[in-house]
Amino acid sequence: MNTQSVAPVTKECVGEEESDQRIDNFLFRRFRNVPKSHLYQLLRSGQVRVNGKRATASYRLQTGDMIRIPPVKVTEKNASRQITNIPGNFFAFTVLYEDDAMLVIDKPGGMAVHGGSGISFGVIEQLRAQNPGWKFLELVHRLDRETSGVLLLAKKRSALVELHRQIRAGLMEKHYLTMVKGKWRNAKQHVKLALDKYVTAAGERRVMVAAGSSKDSKSMQSHTIFSLQKSWQNFSLLDAEIKTGRTHQIRVHLAHLGFPIIGDDKYGDFEVNKRLARSGVQNKLGRMFLHAHTVGITHPLSGIRMHLQAPLPADLQRFIDSLEDM
């Protein structure tokens, strides 16, 4: 059964991971169930705007750009099976920090940060609907739907601009905890690999390590520092510090090295994932083991250095406990 919903007017700030992407490709990925001809019409008519101005389809987005997205009719297949959050049925987020400039929450795994691709309400839409009196609320950065942990949002434009400056300057510190297949042996390992984006035949956005020379201007330079936390016979727990915020960076780096993240449905070991999904209650894992546990920033207004932390979720901690019992 197909149903139609109309996405509301939204404004979205472009993050580092979406920089240098054509705006038409940005819209195609956001609205996969909308005809491309309609999205082009929205661009031509000026209903989609960047920084308050018209943009051609070939315009390449830059970090900090503000995109206005008008109401769009989205066809949702099997709508009853969509993971959605709608007004009156809000998810209760754990707030890690809040003041007049910022809101920091512990995003649960399985929830998208914004609507699109069949999801009417993501984190940002829900928070705006919950707080209609807030004049400004934008995502500072993004997390993949399956990734849990620290998510920053700005409540003032000045805070957003400053936090994006820190990201571009490499001043924002981000640490993730991840469980990988295999026995990792190096206590600390720097991984610097250029990445290329591509789209599968099914229209899914993917990333791969760039072939040949990493000096290709179209490739994205990326840097991750992995530190071993603990290893078992078949699995290893790593801290991943990202020095660059590329799309799927940690996932692709680890898969390329032969240590895929368990539960990763794009770059992981599908046989291992299937086995874990069918395991007993104690060591069953139903999603990707990737958690943003610490973000270090300088407060955009006060200048005080802050370290924001989100504890490991119960499902991921339960999996670690199951390994300890083996």
Of the candidates 316, 297, 314, the one whose C-alpha atom is nearest the C-alpha of residue 306 is 297
Distance (Å, rounded) from C-alpha 283 to C-alpha 285?
6
Q: Up-side HSE of residue 138: CA atoms within 13 Å toward CB?
A: 22
**Exposed/middle/buried for 307, CB within 10 Å: 0-12, 13-18, 19+?**
exposed
Of the candidates 262, 256, 144, the one whose C-alpha atom is nearest the C-alpha of residue 209 is 256
Of the candidates 118, 133, 30, 45, the one whose C-alpha atom is nearest the C-alpha of residue 80 is 118
Distance (Å, rounded) from C-alpha 137 to C-alpha 154?
6
Considering 106, 144, 264, 269, which one is annotated as catalytic?
A: 144
Q: Tell me, yes or no, if 144 is annotated catalytic.
A: yes
Q: 3-class SS at 37?
A: helix
Of the candidates 180, 176, 172, the one whose C-alpha atom is nearest the C-alpha of residue 224 is 176
Q: In 169-301, which ranges are continuous DSSP H helix? A: 249-256, 270-277
Of the candidates 139, 12, 29, the one whose C-alpha atom is nearest the C-alpha of residue 65 is 12
Active site residues: 144
